[in-house]
Amino acid sequence: MAQRPEAKARRVADDPEGPSGVAQARVLVIEDDTDIRLLVGRELRALGHTVDAVGLAEEGLFAARATEYGLMIVDLGLPDGDGLDLVRELRRRGIAAPVLMLTARRKVEDRVAGLSSGADDYLVKPFALAELRARVAALLRRPTRLRESRFAVGNLVVDCDALEAVVGGVSLPLARKQFRLLELLARRRNHMTPKHMIEEALYGYDDDVSANSIEAHVSKLRRVLRAAGVAAVIETRRGIGYRLADGEPPRDG
Q: Where along the chain do its domains lie?
A: 10-141, 150-246
As a whole number of Å, the CA-based R_g of the chain is 19
Kind of pairing between the strands at 71-75 and 26-30: parallel
Which pLDDT score is estimated for 187?
82
Burial of 187 (0-12, 13-18, 19+ CB in 10 A): middle
Name the β-bridge partners of 234: 244
Residue 32 phi, psi dihedral angles, 5° rounding: -85, -20
Which pLDDT score is estimated for 1?
42
Measured between alpha carbons, how far is 41 from 53 in angstroms, rounded to an integer?
7
Is the Cβ–Cβ distance between 83 and 99 less than 8 Å? no
Which pLDDT score is estimated for 71?
93
Mean pLDDT by 10 residues, the chain (253 residues): 42 36 80 95 92 94 86 93 89 84 75 74 91 92 61 85 85 90 86 84 73 88 92 88 76 47
Q: Enter the pTM of the model.
A: 0.55
Is CATH 3.30.2000.10 correct for 10-141?
Answer: no
- CATH fold of the domain at 150-246: Arc Repressor Mutant, subunit A (1.10.10)
Measured between alpha carbons, how far is 226 from 220 in angstroms, rounded to an integer?
10
What does each C-alpha distance from 39 to 13, 63, 76, 225 come to in angstroms? 10, 20, 17, 37
Which pLDDT score is estimated for 209?
73
